[in-house]
Amino acid sequence: MELPAKLEQLDVTTVGLSLVFLLAGLSKLAVPQFWTGYEPEFVLALSPVSAGTLLGITGLLEAALGIWILTGVRKTFASLVAVLWLTAITLQVTQLGLYAIAIRDLGLVFLALAIFQKSR
């Protein structure tokens, strides 16, 4: 059985990063109480919406990014967005003193960089 061309291009790094974003985004929508407190204060201060609404928007964006990476459409740009997003998250959790989470997130930054590099 022959797979569609897009499915043949999938690899474990792409599927893995896609699932991280998709599941994190869905989790923010399903159980937002697990995710409160990680938002940068300056973002909350600038936001015209409540922290809960902002968290929901973030969840939708992360889930969409996961699907976007998985589709392979403009993969170079999608993976670059992932690198920037994950770098911002890593800096934020480092600032909060959550070093174990920051180390894990740094690994995800490099995973996204690998996908970016392969897609160029």
Q: Note the pLDDT tens digit of each residue in 23-57.
A: 999 999 999 999 998 988 989 999 999 999 999 99
**Contact 78/88 with Cβ under 8 angstroms?**
no
Q: What is the mean pLDDT of each run of 10 residues along the chain (120 residues)?
A: 63 95 98 92 92 96 97 95 98 96 98 96
Q: What is the separation of C-alpha 69 from the centre of its chain, rounded to a whole number of angstroms?
A: 10
pTM of the model: 0.89
Q: Looking at this protein, which amino acid is placed at residue 56?
A: G
Q: Which two tokens stand for residue 113?
A: 């960089």
- Spell out a b/e string for 64-91, using b for 16 or more CB atoms within 10 Å of the CB, else e: ebbebbbebeebeebbbbbbebbbebbe
